[in-house]
Amino acid sequence: MFRRAGKTLILALALAAVSTAAFAQVDFTHYVALGDSLTAGFWSGGLVSTVQVNSYPALLERQATGSSANFQQPLVKYPGIPNALQLVSLLPNTVIAPAGGQGVPLNINLPSPYNNLGVPGSKVHDTVATTNGGLHDLILRNPAFGNTTALQQALIQHPTFVTLWIGNNDVLAAAGSGLVIEGVTLTPVASFQKDYGTLMAALKASGAKIALANIPNVTSIPLVTTIPSVVVNPATRKPVLVNGAPVPLIGPKGTPLTAADHVLLTAQTSLGKGLGIPAQLGGTGKPLLDSDVLDAQETATVQDRIAAYNAIIAQAASDNGAALVDVNGIFRDIAANGLDIAGVTYTNAFLTGGLFSYDGVHPTPFGYAYIANAFIDAINAKFNAKIAPVNLYPFMFGTPALGGTTAAGASLSGTPAFSAEAVRNLLWTLTGDADFAVHHPEGGDGTDAGTAGNPGNGGTPTPAPAPKPQRHGRRHGG
């Protein structure tokens, strides 16, 4: 009897050892996440605690360790910092504007660096070089931590596991503003490669296991894909047909737009003033601003740059034994085919698709949960780990799902449009400049031609009031 029990105990211990060995391939004792707004859990234009608690790093920590109670993040009380966007009305038009009130940091006096060091607005260079400005002030809290960078604060914690998803803003500023300017909205490849190499060398030297994510095609996000390049009848929301054919909008160069050109969601402000619409159809006959459109050539430039960055990231993963999350491939497939979860179809459509929040750039809570599972899949595959996936049900039907989009497939009245304040807020989050087109004349002349009911400003740029978020610094992008 005792011999049988002894054998049973030995077998149990052996199985436990196998199980422990499998889990030991990844050690989340000290997990740190580096990145930008997508790592921070940015949602609808702001950092809001109710969404931050389900950021993909927090979900990853929870699945790996059973709890995220010790995973510290820079939580902000609703309406967030900056003020998150909200749906103001559905009828007669769908209008989105920043919520009122004041967001307040909830744990800014934490005596140690945050585990989630995703800084909205960060580019690759910021992660290795920037210590303050914008939301760096909220997240890095210098000089209290010795004027250190996000990378330095990660290393201070002696991480056992690190996720890195950075590089989105190195192209997002160009795609989101319609202004592709080398060295301003678009990071040169050589600079990206140098800074990414610096990041990887430091993280590898720390001894931590690493998971990297690449950069999705930002020209497939709702901010870029929602508004058609043809004139739309505001009553029917259908393209206007002349001689049976749709009428192209007038592009920044004064020529008709093509299907390969992308009209940004923020262009609704210009379209509302009649820009881009031929005079015979009730518009001004004047072209859209350059900052309203990402044309075919600019789109190709952005896509080529994403491919170059992703090649660098893939090589870094290979050279350093890191797991690689192919976010680009995941989002490309969703854009082409949609995502079916238990009979519910998610798409990249604005408001109705279920994947993107009110800013047309950042995911909904469901989107973040789905991304967390993509990280888990890559980590399990690379390190022979056994981390269980996130249960998506609460993010589809439970309280966590109430993040900011309507249910997938819901119908809306009218084309969604940002308020003027929301446009300024969004441009600032993407570029650090609420009047980007005015300050960069190569990207637009700032002219407000006006319409019959709105005389405009005769070509003189209207000074935009400083966005509310500027009390916290310069830039809050992706």
Assign residue 353 the CATH number of its domain.
Answer: 3.40.50.1110
Rounded mean pLDDT of 359-364?
94
pLDDT at 224: 94
How many alpha carbons lie under 13 Å from residue 221 in its C-beta half-sphere?
28
pLDDT of residue 398: 87
Residue 343 lies in a domain: yes
CB 82 within 8 A of CB 469: yes
How many structural domains compose the chain?
A: 1
Give the pLDDT of residue 114: 98
Question: Which of 275, 335, 327 is closest to 167 using CA atoms?
Answer: 327
> Residue 156: is its pLDDT beyond 60?
yes
Rounded Cα–Cα distance for residues 94 and 96 (Å): 7
Structural contact between residues 302 and 180, judged by C-beta atoms closer than 8 angstroms: yes
What's the rounded mean pLDDT across residues 141-161?
97
pLDDT at 296 over 60: yes
**C-alpha distances in Å from residue 280, one per residue of 123, 231, 238, 270, 276:** 45, 12, 17, 17, 12
| Residue 312: inside a domain | yes
Residue 475 has pLDDT above 90, yes or no: no
**pLDDT, mean of residues 460-476:** 34
- Encode pLDDT of 364-413 as tens digits: 999 999 999 999 999 999 999 999 999 999 999 888 887 544 433 344 44
Q: Which residue type occupies 49?
A: S
Determine, yes or no, domain membership for 150. Answer: yes
Q: Helices in 146-272 by DSSP H: which ranges?
A: 150-156, 169-177, 189-205, 222-225, 268-272
pLDDT at 422 over 70: no
Phi and psi at residue 354, in whole multiples of 5°? 85, -5
Q: Does the structure show a pLDDT above 70 at 17?
A: no
pLDDT band for position 91 (cuts 50, 70, 90): low
Provide the sign of the torsion angle of the four alpha carbons 47, 51, 55, 58, taken in this order.
Answer: positive
Residue spans of alpha helices (H) in 206-260: 222-225
Q: How many angstroms separate the CA atoms of 336 and 320, rounded?
A: 32
pLDDT of residue 412: 47
Residue 173: pLDDT over 60: yes
Query: Does the residue 471 lie in any domain?
Result: no
Does residue 81 sit within a domain?
Answer: yes
Q: Would you state the pLDDT for residue 416?
A: 59
Neighbours of 238 (CB within 10 A): 10
pLDDT of residue 8 exceeding 90, the answer is: no
Tell me whether residue 372 is in a domain.
yes
Q: What is the pLDDT of residue 164?
A: 98
- Domain enclosing residue 374, as ranges: 27-223+302-401
Average pLDDT over residues 55-77: 96
Residue 406 counted as domain residue: no
**With 0-12 CB in 10 A as exposed, 13-18 as middle and 19+ as buried, what is 44?**
buried
The answer to whether residue 420 sits within a structural domain is no
215 has pLDDT over 60? yes
pTM above 0.85, yes or no: no
| pLDDT-derived band at 458, boundaries 50, 70, 90 | very low
- Residues facing residue 325 across a β-bridge: 213
Predicted confidence band at 14 (pLDDT cuts at 50, 70, 90)?
very low
| pLDDT more than 90, % of the chain | 70
Q: What is the mean pLDDT of residues 331-353?
A: 92
pLDDT of residue 351: 87
